[in-house]
Chains A and B, each alone.
Chain A
Amino acid sequence: MPNKTIKINVPVLARVEGEGALDLEIINDQITDLKLRIYEPPRFFEQFLLERSYQDVPDMVARICGICPVAYQMSAVHAIESIFQVKITPWIRAMRRVMYCGEWLQSHSLHIHMLAAPDFLGFNSILEMSKEYSHEVSRGLALQTLGNDLISLFGGRSVHPVGVRTGGFFHAPSQKTVDAIRKRLEEAQYETEELVRWTASLDLPDDQQQFTSVSLRHPDEYPLNEGRIVSDAIQGPGLDLDISEYDKHFVEQHIPHSTALHSLLDGKPYLVGPLARLNLNSDKLPAYVQSIMESSGIQFPSNNMFHSIVARAIEVNYVVSEALQLLNQYKKPDSPYVECKPKSGIGFGCTEAPRGLLWHQYEMDSQGKVKKARIVPPTSQNQARIEQDLRQSLITLGLNQKEQTLRLHAEKVIRNYDPCISCATHFLRLDIKHYQEKEEIINPNNAQQNNAVPRIKIIGVGSHHGNDKLGFETLQLLKDDKQLANYTNVNYVSITSPGTQLMDALKETDYAIIIDAIAAHDEPGKLIKLEASQITAFKPALSSHGLGVIEAIKLGLALKQIPHNIVLIGLNTDGNSDWTYTETQLQRLVNAVRQLIIR
């Protein structure tokens, strides 16, 4: 049975927040490599918070994420208030909850309509979708706007709001503005019920998996700003921790392919976010929301990650009713904040961001200056779980599917988590490569039909120095191969200049295999194989030499001077001169070329 290798490569993952990539390699129906790579450059927030006054902290941490700034502000002020031993008033507690409801409403509405729904309805974007689904899209955008306006009520604006301070708010809205928004919340209630039913009616894949859900839990309410950290008892005993004990069970690991740190719970991946919250807390939803949840026809707790979109919609329904109920009792207070006096100490803040648990730890000195800061965003906690899910989900789908099918499914799986990659405090571009060794692609069948024996040319490009000698060395080993000596239709050519020399070498042949060192954005030493259509799409990394080969082939193809049956094969050098390929890597390349010739 021939080796079948599938590699998938999409340079930018659409409809996620921030930049990430996915590496997927399938050999003989086995996943041999799967990495969710996070590329978002690190922004070092934990470092530049140092020596800053506590007053700067809410404005600084908001800048970690434009989509969930309120979450960052809330986790931070709770941590600082615990150090300063500040007791906030019931009014402040309630209004923080309202503001947080606004963030869930805008973030969930944005995700459901702009990022996720196009997947299930077969569109590339909300703009395409809006023509056929204008009612749903308008409803979604209106809910998103309402969420933004709830944030602005207390924050002045929805992105990086300015109203939050340690001890409360800078500003309490007037009764008139509160009344106006209450009216809109009332009107939106029915729309959120419709939204739950609509998401439940989407064609969501049935993909049952075993995973551990982690979220906050509060005795009296659905968790937003407060609670203990709990997990379900699926893969071990269920947790019930004070937020200060997070470190005892959760460990962050730094892995090569990501600027985000991977978080594990007792060594295993786990899930945070809407589905995890609902799995653990549906009993805390008001009876009215529970009845909407039940009417969706979907059972919670659910082991199907594709139910996340429904979980989000149920939370949208919840936050609209919760904000309304809290604002119905609104009365403008004497002061929207309580005075704070700095104290030294260590404190923790843990709240439920739209995407899940957001944990902060600060150490302050007696002046209220930050001495140490640690921030664990939800997406870095979900990253290991996303990789685990992708593995299982792709196997369930079937690994022998078409490239496009595999890719779309992988993207859908990733979007279930609504990854927020900008949260690279210490933290996606999706690079799915799909090189498929299908016989019809590389076997010169067409040529064979016309000619009894196809003319095959093996071209080694390079020099006698450094990694550039790869082409020549491989060519020599192939020429010395006894079995290949029987193939009289094969010509071996070595060239030093990839430009016109290569163009000439490629003429008058049916099938060409070009061997060269390739500078790709990948692991050094990795075997890379590109056929004609992939060559034209390939973007080389750094090597000026590699660029020459690719450009020459593109030019040749465009001018129709060279055959379409071309394979460019080689090892990735990463453009790195300090690295040299090993004997094993060279042998792997020789074997790969041999197979191509023999076929």
Chain B
Amino acid sequence: MSKISVSVHKFSSCDGCQLAFLNLGKDLLSLPEFIEIRHFAEAGPIDIESSVDIAFVEGSISTPDDLQRIKKIRENSNYLITIGACATSGGIQALRNLADTKSWIANIYAKPEYINSLDSSTAISDHAKVDFELWGCPINSQQLLSAIRSLLFGVAPLKDSSKVCMECKRRNIVCLMVTKGVPCMGPVTQAGCAALCPSFGRDCYACYGPGENANTTALANRFAGLGLMPEEIAQRFLFINNNAGSFKQEGLRWKAQSITKSK
């Protein structure tokens, strides 16, 4: 097993997924036995243009500069792995895609002409080929280590395409939606968090993104049955992973209804 070279790049994000490395605790010190970190600004090493085996990318594409940078990173890496919701689906800041960004900038900044920002926040895969995706807001260290381990052994990282519901069953957590009428996103959300929110007695809010073949429409109708207004249903889907395909579609459908009704 030879060492693999790694870079960690940041785009528009909260830095939280890079912490999956920095929060490894004592394990962080054993990382250099397996990987060579060539670029990871927050941790210290800087070599933006270094060629690497794996480039981990955090954050979404939201400025004209980002477009150039991600192309370079792709050219310089064998595998490109997105870490977290921002890089994988555009993140919470993709909510701007549904709005008039120029008026937002005008609302916040006295001198909008100084702000250089695209109208959208988009996933890395919209701009470059992505080999593997690690979903989650944030991802956890186990996801990261498991992906690195797999690649060290020359196999593709495993993807768990089951839903949060399955994790609740495995952990013997009583269903919140059935027993308490809580509008839980678990039935359409990818597993990976070990049903963290339901284990705390609260609704899942889908920070791990849509699961495979998520039946978003059936769940949205159930939410309506629980008494949620169309705007509230739309907001359930248009949250952390608002720009992910099936969530966006479902969310916009209900958003449109809420606008019609209010008129």
| Chains A and B are bound partners | yes
**Residue contact B200 to A170, C-beta cutoff 8 Å:** yes
> Taking CB as reference atom, which chain A residue is nearest B10?
A19
Q: A41-B62, A254-B110 are in contact. Are A65 and B44 (CB under 8 A)?
A: no
Smallest CB separation, B185 vs chain A (Å): 12
With a CB–CB cut-off of 8 A, which chain B residues contact A15? 41-44
Smallest CB separation, B245 vs chain A (Å): 20
B56 at the interface (CB under 8 A from A): no
Bin the interface of chain B by size.
35 or more
Inter-chain CB contacts under 8 Å: number: 185
> Taking CB as reference atom, which chain A residue is nearest B231?
A51
With a CB–CB cut-off of 8 A, which chain B residues contact A130? 29
Interface string of A110-141 (1 = CB under 8 A from B): 10001100100001111110100010011001
Cβ contact of A163, chosen from B22, B37, B104, B200, cutoff 8 A? B200
A163 to B239 Cα, complex, angstroms = 18
B18 at the interface (CB under 8 A from A): yes
A200 at the interface (CB under 8 A from B): no
> Taking CB as reference atom, which chain B residue is nearest A65?
B14
B23 at the interface (CB under 8 A from A): yes
Binds A, one of B90-98, B148-156, B165-173: B90-98
Interface residues of A in 239-259 (CB under 8 A from B): 253-259
A96 at the interface (CB under 8 A from B): no
Interface string of B194-213 (1 = CB under 8 A from A): 00110111100101000000
Bin the interface of chain A by size.
35 or more
Interface string of B38-65 (1 = CB under 8 A from A): 0001111110100000000000001100
Smallest CB separation, B111 vs chain A (Å): 5
B131 at the interface (CB under 8 A from A): no
Interface residues of B in 57-96 (CB under 8 A from A): 62-63, 66, 91-93, 95-96
Smallest CB separation, B36 vs chain A (Å): 10
Cβ contact of B41, chosen from A12, A110, A138, A142, cutoff 8 A? A12
With a CB–CB cut-off of 8 A, which chain A residues contact B107? 46-47
Q: A42-B115, A159-B23, A253-B110 are in contact. Are A65 and B15 (CB under 8 A)?
A: yes
**Residue contact B15 to A422, C-beta cutoff 8 Å:** yes
**Residue contact A66 to B239, C-beta cutoff 8 Å:** no
Interface residues of A in 472-495 (CB under 8 A from B): none
Smallest CB separation, A495 vs chain B (Å): 28
Interface residues of A in 428-480 (CB under 8 A from B): none
Give chain B's interface residues, CB within 8 Å of chain A: 10, 12-20, 22-23, 25-26, 28-29, 31-32, 37, 41-46, 48, 62-63, 66, 91-93, 95-96, 99, 101, 104-105, 107-111, 114-117, 121, 137-138, 140, 196-197, 199-202, 205, 207, 231-232, 235, 239-240
In the complex, 14 of the A-B residue pairs with CB atoms within 8 angstroms, ordered by the A residue number, are A12-B41, A14-B45, A14-B46, A15-B41, A44-B95, A51-B231, A66-B17, A69-B16, A123-B44, A126-B43, A130-B29, A158-B19, A159-B138, A170-B201
With A43-B93, A67-B19, A114-B22 known, 11 other A-B pairs at CB within 8 A are A15-B43, A41-B116, A44-B96, A51-B231, A59-B239, A63-B16, A64-B14, A66-B138, A134-B29, A158-B19, A259-B109
Q: 4 closest Cβ contacts across the A-B interface?
A: A66-B16, A125-B44, A145-B25, A171-B200
